[in-house]
Structure 1
Amino acid sequence: MNRRSRLVIIVSAGAILVTAATIALTGTLNRPDETSVAVTVPVALKADGLPKNFSIGIVLTLGQSGEPGSEYNRAAQGAVVATQRFAQGGAAITLLAQNDSGSVDGARAAVETLADQEVAGVIVTSTGPQAQAAAKAAEERGIPVISPYADVTEPGQATWTTGPSGPSVEAAIHTALQGKTRVLLVEDGGSVPASVTVSQTLSLTGFEDVPALAQEAAIQTGDQLRPTAEDAPADAEATRIAEPADAVVVVAATPQRLARLIQALQARNVSVPLIMPNGATAPAFASTLAELDGDGSGQLVSIAADGGDTTALRQDAQGRGMSAFLSAVRLTSGNSDIMNVTADAPFAADAWAADSHSHDAVIALVRAGALAGSVDPSKVGAALSTLSLGPDEGLAGPALDFSHSAALSVEPLLVYASPQDLGLRPADEAAPRLIWMPAPAGS
């Protein structure tokens, strides 16, 4: 570890400017059992009572071509940031990654390998059937599981999700559609809850290609004219639809396919809100949209837990926790010797996408291990089930209550896309310019 990464950084108690004002340095520490949040939150974290040889398994779906389940691989690099924060505080945590190969059988094999390596807990960063299978396999081996990105169905007693639940996402969709009377659904393999009322559905399976689908959607929103029929009189004029849609819900099987739909709709100048219930906040959506020259602004709406970078602009406890996390991202990125979760590339390559949710999953398992004073998975899981965690314990995202299998303590938010660079992460010209921010209070 170089000299810079040994520094302990603390964020100023004042508001953090978008230009990333100077961050103060200090070495103070909040104990996990403190009941009040300090004015500043340290980057370095201690884990008193954590036994040596504490390791955490990470299950991923590897791939570079949009494999289902791989959409959060870059976000999962937040786990590296958490281990570096504990390393600064004197606690060594080992991350052991396994590829689930995008299949149920691969997921079970990945967990078996991690169990043989005697991990104390597993973080499942994939989605889809393989995420469900990995959680089930770990449960059968008595290993506690945290799933930051997938809503595990019928979780066992030692499985926790830390993202928005299905019902909470459904409620947020209804909030986004309040006042909308003609909702158009555009889909490429995705789905929305049955309770969401749509006036019309356009599916890619009914069109020659994505541009043709987008053109029809633009006609249905009144942003494009309906062309005249081939057998229409020569003086016939194109017409605008009488009752245009006032919102479009866009869903797809993967974030990459979702980005393709959004770029095509933008190219047709669709001006009504484009609401994306799932997949839009994955790094894979941002990078694909950028590759397609799509726009990270306008009327793009999604749903997310309150744990994005803009949280650091607040002066409350969570804002200070997020500021400390982003400081750690910058420090970790500045050390070229620190590798990513799979140890095949420098962490810096994915610093733009490393998120608080994978980071907080590591924090939770380490706090449980310290409380249990053991690397025994059953004891770690039992300790985790008693914990409620927040900024005092090192979380960057929202509070988590592990007495419930759905540990997220707050309802998800409607978030809106912006191409603004907050200046809070390492400069990276190759990173897509897209962040998600909640609506201002009172709006």
Structure 2
Amino acid sequence: MSTQESTPLDVERIRSDFPILSRKVGGDVTVPGEGPGDDTPLVYLDNAATSQTPDQVVDVVADYYRSYNSNVHRGIHSLSQEASVAYENAHDRVAEFVGADGREEIVFTPGTTEGENLVAYAWGLAELGPGDEVVLTEMEHHASLVTWQQLCKRTGATAKYIPVDEQGTLDMEAAAELITDDTKLVSAVHVSNTLGTVNPISDLADLAHDHNAYIFVDAAQSVPNRPLDVSDLGADFLAFSGHKMCGPTGIGALYGREHILEELQPYLYGGDMIRKVTYEDATWEDLPWKFEAGTPNIAGGIAFAAACDYLDDIGLDRIQAHEEALAEYAYDRLDEYDDVDIYGPPGDERGGLVAFNVDDVHAHDLSSILNDHGVAIRAGDHCTQPLHQKLGIAASARASFYLYNTREEVDVLLDGIDAARELFA
């Protein structure tokens, strides 16, 4: 183990890269960042929804617009050439970050959701039909569940679901029975955004490949906080979002094995993805550009690569250890309450988030009270309505942690929960 991997994070230094974490919140805000009552330190625990963005990444966005703002792949002039090189290099950097073989396997998208839809439309519409099956998990995010559910309705294929057991983990015996020679695709979330469960993707990939099926991995909650290699996972497709990993919103990536992407037809048409156009037909550009129609999010893509640099400089092993330690601490403290229900695996067997409910306190009310204490969490169904229905609840509160959070912030969360319990007692 390297020194970097074994050294705890210098959280205070890291926090200095995120000016927003020094904000004061509270009161009736009429102007962003201003308003009466803004006197409570912000405790940001909604990282599974969107992480904050460090100055180093914000500066990259600003530098693009200030120094070489131009369209890519369109001009011979200097600004276009500089933008094109930076944008193309960003694909190389993101490919390296997840262990892909090169830029040909990395398509920039607006985020994980469009990565799912790209595969659904470019591959699923052509390959699925009556008698075919898509196997998902019961803990899928709507970005996966709804996409494949609706595509199955359109093509006549059948969607099946690997059940979640009482511990919040996948029933792998059931998975082995559900994945058959009729299965064309397995779509599985790597880390559940509700349960915190870390799914055995490599085992699911083996099951899929044993039946000549592909596996799609929703890695929105795993790429930001743990070392990941698409080859080690056995992924055929894998999607993730920049805004959950210290990058900008509106940018993400779809990884696909090169030989699979080569065979697929694009599902968005327009400029930049074409090689030759006549009035009768068109041919497509090389990978990955044939899937990136129109003017892309150039600044976002370049900053996406900068976010990869930022996380690698800190060390993903260290980020994972820090995040999971906070989640375990929060889980253990919450588990001391008789009137708190926690969802998902034990504290030492989960990713960096904890979803829970307090008896007689609706999750939305709890979130509102916590906001009065400066604590930002998520309350609702977290885009996993069917999973919440299975759990027998309408909503849950979710605290999610990242590299800049501290144990002291978890204590503030607990103080806010105590205040809510007293108010509704």
TM (normalized to structure 1)?
Answer: 0.29
Structure having the higher helix fraction is 2
TM (normalized to structure 2)?
Answer: 0.30
